[in-house]
Structure 1
Amino acid sequence: MPEAVQHPPWYVEPNEGESISHYFGRFRRHEAVCVSSPGTLSKAAGIGPVLARWEKFRFNPFPSEKELEAIAKLIGLDVDRIAQMLPPKGEKMKMEPIRLCAACYGEKSYHRLEWQFQSTVGCNSHKLRLLSECPFCKERFAIPALWENGECKKCHAPFRSMAKRQKPY
């Protein structure tokens, strides 16, 4: 019988297709983690201030194998699993505005990496255009690392309630 994988108490399982920004925000808010900023986490891994850039979808230069190994070791994740939260080679990122499919978010509440691809027009699952601002108050969405409650930072409308305001594509 295979041995069960032992994870550290601060282990946070990534979601399928989750963006690195959203994942590290969830990781820092985990009860067993006492790190509140990306800079502190980067420093603990010995990789400089790169995590703050990654959380804003700035991958130039692209994360090195050494950086990924250092952060993977610190947080107890596989390097391959972290690499899945990064854009595939050749895929250009849209750093701003942050985009969201509220219908997807209502089903599973996390930011998908593919929403920030320049090549992504809308949600393929729901055939809806992505939102880049709150449809109620017009505030642009914060970076996913800061999505603590899954709501607009200005008017506090839940992301899932925005689905009815998404237009088809």
Structure 2
Amino acid sequence: MVIPQIPAWVFPVEPSPGESLSHFLGRFCRENHTTLNQLGEKTGLGAVLGRWEKFRFIPQPSDAQLAALAKLVRLEVDQIKQMLPQETMQNRVIRLCAACYAEEPYHRIEWQYKLANRCDRHHLLLLLECPNCKAKLPMPSKWANGTCKRCLTPFEQMADLQKGI
């Protein structure tokens, strides 16, 4: 795989501890005023990034693919690997601990693990939908405003409703 040159305009984005790749890709795209499709073109990965955004990692990303992404986003390959799942995932339903999000607003990869149904830190059930209007949570890459896509309830406010579950 030929890795294209890094454009001079790329603004680096530092990943947060335990951040999911989906959330990181969304933040990176917003910071750099670009799209996932454009990242796919620049890295030579094409639609693969769209699969990763949706937590579809079968087949597993190759070292060459991770190196292409790491070069463009100006991270080490190991930093990208830390954003990938280390356990079996539940990728059909996005999960959220609103209490964690209120403390540090980003999606944690551990929330997507198949066996995770509670937050290890707050011991609350992970939200699978907005507790206010019951809309499914959007892909973490789309969490620009940190709100429900239907009723616009901020994720931070969902923590109070989460405690009663």
Cα-to-partner distance string for 1:72-93 (whole Å, 9 max, x where unaligned): 11111100000000012xx111
Provide the residue aligned with 2:134 in structure 1. Answer: 138
CA distance in 1, matches of 2:83, 2:131: 27
Output the CA distance in 2 between the equivalents of 1:100 and 1:106. Answer: 11
Instruction: Please point out which of 107, 113, 118 is paired with 1:117.
Output: 113
Deviations 1:6-49 (A, max 9, x none): xx85100000000000000000000xx2312x222012101221
- Assess if the C-alpha contact under 8 Å between 1:127 and 1:168 holds in 2: no
* In 1: Cα distance, 2:85 partner to 2:75 partner: 18
Q: TM-score, normalised by structure 1?
A: 0.89
Structure 1 unmatched runs, 5+: 1-7
TM-score, normalised relative to structure 2: 0.91
Aligned equivalents of 1:98, 1:52: Cα separation in 2: 16
Residue identity over aligned pairs, in percent, reads 51
1:166 is displaced (CA, Å) by: 1.4
Contact 2:93 2:128 in 1 (8 A): yes
| Deviation readout 1:109-147 (Å, 9 max, x if unpaired) | 000000001021210100100001000010000000000
- 2:101 corresponds to 1:102: no
Give structure 2 stretches of 5+ with no counterpart.
Answer: 1-8
Are 1:129 and 1:168, in contact at CA under 8 Å, matched by a contact in 2? no
User: Which of 71, 74, 96 matches 1:73?
Assistant: 71
CA distance in 2, matches of 1:42, 1:145: 15
Q: Name the CA distance, whole Å, in 1 between partners of 2:88 and 2:159.
A: 26
1:26 aligned partner, one-letter code? R
The alpha carbon displacement at 1:160 in A equals: 0.6
Matches within 5 A, 1:52-67: 52-67=50-65
Output the CA distance in 1 between the equivalents of 2:65 and 2:98.
Answer: 32
Which residue is 1:3 aligned to?
none
